[in-house]
Amino acid sequence: MDFPMHDAAALAPCTLSTEDVFEGPEKKLEVYFRTSVSQPSGFRQYGAEAWSELLSLAACTILNQRSNDHCDAYLLSESSLFVFADRVILKTCGTTTLLLVLPRLLEMAATAGTALERLQYGHLRYKFPQLQLYPSRSHDEERAYLVAMFGEGVHALTVGPADGCCWHVLAVEGRAAVAAPRPLPAQLNKWQMALPSLAGEDILEVAMEGLSAEVCALFGFERGPDGKDVAGWGPLPDGALARAMTTSCGLADLLPGALIDDWAFEPCGYSMNALAGPYYYTVHVTPEVAFSYASFETNDPRFRAADLVERVVGCFSPSVVTLTLTSRDGTHRLPAYSRRDFERTAASAPTIEHKPLGNGAAVSYATYRAAERRAGLPLVKSFCDGALGLAAVPTPTASPEEA
């Protein structure tokens, strides 16, 4: 079924003060290292104390940890950290200074007897770029920081409209950069389904904006005069509210059997990590109506299927959905999802791009826009065209070189 698109130009502009806003879209650092023969546990030899020291450089802290045979998953004050033996994935929201962890991470790699194979850094365009701190005040500044560390061999890529819901990506390849995927295990369990797309170590990211009013209320924790929170949860013991949010939005049903670690923030907000075999899943929700945002990320290839993407989107009822698939070997791309697959959000036909990223890797990008209000809150024009307007913008923090 087709629906008329929102006329973005007809939507009212949004003006907010710096105290009112939070940057939901996350920065994401994904770093691959060579497997160390002498220290096969690699980065997993480091415990929470070592990671806390590293995370302090990004201005975030550890809230909780879950582990399985493949990965240590840390839930953070601003998003998530996943530690594999030879791979580190760090995702932080707000005005965190994610790139500043790199020197310390490379020191940890040297101690672990390994070296950089490939680094990828990226994020959806910021809603409030004026609030970002060095070295993330612009895509050019982020690239310059990596060039200062690694030289001119930094690959830069932007997919999607530069003045809209675009995705910025940077990549660095070490001397041991390998385009070919790792070999698959001989035995596959239920979380390792024999799909052709499993041949690469690919990461699907779903960024959702303009969540419905009901979804925004679901992830609220603001208490009224009667002692109940605005969402109507009522008094709940520690941890129970997060579990209730996970169940109520549909994520628990989406990840049966997974090891889930969830967290409800005050006065609002939600984060979740989950592990299932070699796969990780992470969700983060910024539910303030004026700049609502939710993200879902996984390396599980099953979630590229149209029905699972639709279920993810259905958990949050957004007005705009941006999908990216980063393929290490460059052979996989996003399917051409039809309108029927996104009927729950009444999405328009997407803009699809597939671009190479350095030696062998590639990024696929697609964006979908809801056609009716019932699919979520309509976005103000600035959501579609770039940053939201701010009534007051602070002077960005000077870089070390500028101080």
Angle at 259 between CA 255 and CA 262, to 5 degrees: 85
Candidate list 26, 30, 288, 297, residue with the active-site label: 26
Beta strand 293-298 with 279-286 is antiparallel
- Rounded to an integer, what distance in angstroms lies between the CA atom of residue 21 and that of residue 94? 9
| Measured distance CA(209)–CA(40) in Å, rounded | 41
Q: How far apart are CA 305 and CA 323, in angstroms?
A: 13
User: Is-catalytic flag, 201?
Assistant: no
379: DSSP letter? P
Question: Which entry of 6, 23, 136, 348 is annotated as an active-site residue?
Answer: 23
CB 153 within 8 A of CB 209: no
26 counts as catalytic: yes
Q: Please state, in angstroms and rounded to a whole number, the distance separating the CA atoms of residues 299 and 122.
A: 16
Q: Is 52 a catalytic residue?
A: no
Annotate 337-373 with DSSP letters as a single string: --TGGGGGGTBPPPEEEEEEETTTEEEEEEEEEBSSG
**36 included as an active-site residue:** no
Is 60 catalytic? The answer is no
d(CA 178, CA 358): 11
Tokens at 15, concatenated: 């003006």
Please tell me which residue in 93, 216, 268, 315 is annotated as part of the active site.
93
Q: Which of 30, 78, 79, 173 is catalytic?
A: 79
Angle at 294 between CA 288 and CA 298, to 5 degrees: 160
Which one of the listed residues 284, 332, 353, 384 is annotated catalytic?
Answer: 284
Has 14 been annotated as catalytic? no
- Kindly name the residue from 80, 136, 212, 271 that is annotated as catalytic: 271
The encoded tokens of residue 57 equal 């450089």
- Known catalytic residues are 23, 26, 79, 93, 271, 284
